[in-house]
Amino acid sequence: MTINRALKPLLLPLSALLLLFSFLPSCSSLSPSGPTSGSQLSGTITEAGSTTVQPLAEKLAGAFTKNNPKVTITIQGGGTSVGIKSAADGTVDIGAASRELLPNEPQLVKFTLARDGIAIIVNPKNTVNGLTKAQVKDIFSGKITNWKDVGGTDFGINVAAREEGSGTRTAFEELVMGTDRILSKAVLQPSNGALRQVVSGDAQSISFVSLGAIDNSVRALAIDGVAATEQNAASGAYPVVRPLYFLTKTEPTGLTKTFIDFCLSPEGQIIVRGEGYVPVGK
């Protein structure tokens, strides 16, 4: 009985203490979930610009929103000039460009998303396998007008190109044409896919597209003896390579930064490689 009387004063405080602990959250509920948790991220991102970047951006956005279902990302084209203007005006969160910014354009925050070779494409029936960079320049400027003059069949050359304002065209002009202009009678198209379709349907045609846009409906020519491949573009051996950029008006924050960080991460760059572009850092 003495023992019972000694313990009795402790029973009430002990029961009260147990009751208090029953209301405290568990250790797991005290652990904060990370800022990139799919259950936490929500909101919208808008992107517009380069039609070369557009299909890659769509793939990256699809992977990001799969893991973050409360996030909506709208991807639009319009061309590099549209991407620069839209980012500068703040009408989109991210602009996309497939060339360097010009001195007279807004100097935006740039993120190198990937690098891309510009492939010179012909119809699979064309017997020419390669050209020099000088020959490409002369064909697109109209100085060479027959395939026989570059080792092919005696047929006229039909030139197709991107429209003015296209990042692909501007990069091609800088890297290949120099001070020469693309001939005025060239057939102009608004996208890589449209140019690919023109060349695939015309055995006499030639054009230029993003390396990532190549499929078996056209054939890419070697330039200066170097094949148009991702490996050669990455090593610097292929001579016609340009950067692909995401652009923002100011340093990105919040959801926009999280998405760009994902695109530049190893996971995002696996998608870049899978789409036929050269990953950043190679």
The domain that holds 184 is classified in CATH as 3.40.190.10
In-domain check, residue 206: yes
User: Span 127-151, mean pLDDT?
Assistant: 98
Computed over every residue of the chain, the mean pLDDT equals 87
Q: Are strands 71-78 and 109-122 parallel, antiparallel or unpaired?
A: unpaired
In-domain check, residue 31: no
Which bin fits 265, alpha (ψ -120 to 50), beta or left (φ > 0)?
A: beta
- Judge if 126 and 60 occupy the same domain: no
- pLDDT per residue as tens digits for the range 230-244: 889 988 899 999 999
* Domain extent for 207: 117-241
Nearest to 168 by CA among 186, 141, 142, 195: 195
- Judge if 142 and 132 occupy the same domain: yes
- Judge if 185 and 219 occupy the same domain: yes
- Judge if 106 and 147 occupy the same domain: no
- Judge if 122 and 142 occupy the same domain: yes
Q: Which residues, at least 6 apart from 80, have a Cβ–Cβ distance to it below 8 Å?
A: 49, 50, 96, 97, 98, 99, 165, 166, 167, 170
Taking residue 191's Cβ as centre, other Cβ atoms within 10 Å add up to: 21
In-domain check, residue 2: no
Give the whole-number percent of the chain exceeding pLDDT 90. 77
* pLDDT for 234: 86
* pLDDT for 219: 98
d(CA 189, CA 197): 10
- pLDDT per residue as tens digits for the range 55-65: 999 999 999 99
In-domain check, residue 66: yes
Classify residue 178 as exposed, middle or buried by CB count within 10 Å of its CB (0-12, 13-18, 19+): exposed
* Measured CA angle at 198 (ends 192, 200), to 5 deg: 100
* Segment 30-38 long-range contacts (CB within 8 Å, at least 24 positions apart): 35/258, 36/68, 36/258, 38/67, 38/68, 38/69, 38/70
**pLDDT > 50? residue 115:** yes
User: Span 264-273, mean pLDDT?
Assistant: 96
- Judge if 262 and 173 occupy the same domain: no
- Judge if 159 and 147 occupy the same domain: yes
In-domain check, residue 8: no
Nearest to 178 by CA among 211, 140, 144, 150: 140
Token reading at 239: 């001579």
Confidence of residue 217 (pLDDT cuts 50, 70, 90): very high
* Secondary structure of residue 72 in the 3-state scheme: strand
pTM: 0.72
**pLDDT > 60? residue 85:** yes
**pLDDT > 60? residue 110:** yes
- pLDDT per residue as tens digits for the range 3-56: 343 434 444 444 443 333 333 433 333 333 334 444 589 999 999 999 989 999
Specify the number of domains making up the chain.
Answer: 2
* pLDDT for 281: 64
- Judge if 145 and 225 occupy the same domain: yes
In-domain check, residue 25: no
In-domain check, residue 257: yes
- pLDDT per residue as tens digits for the range 169-214: 999 999 999 999 999 999 999 999 999 999 999 999 999 999 989 9
In-domain check, residue 77: yes
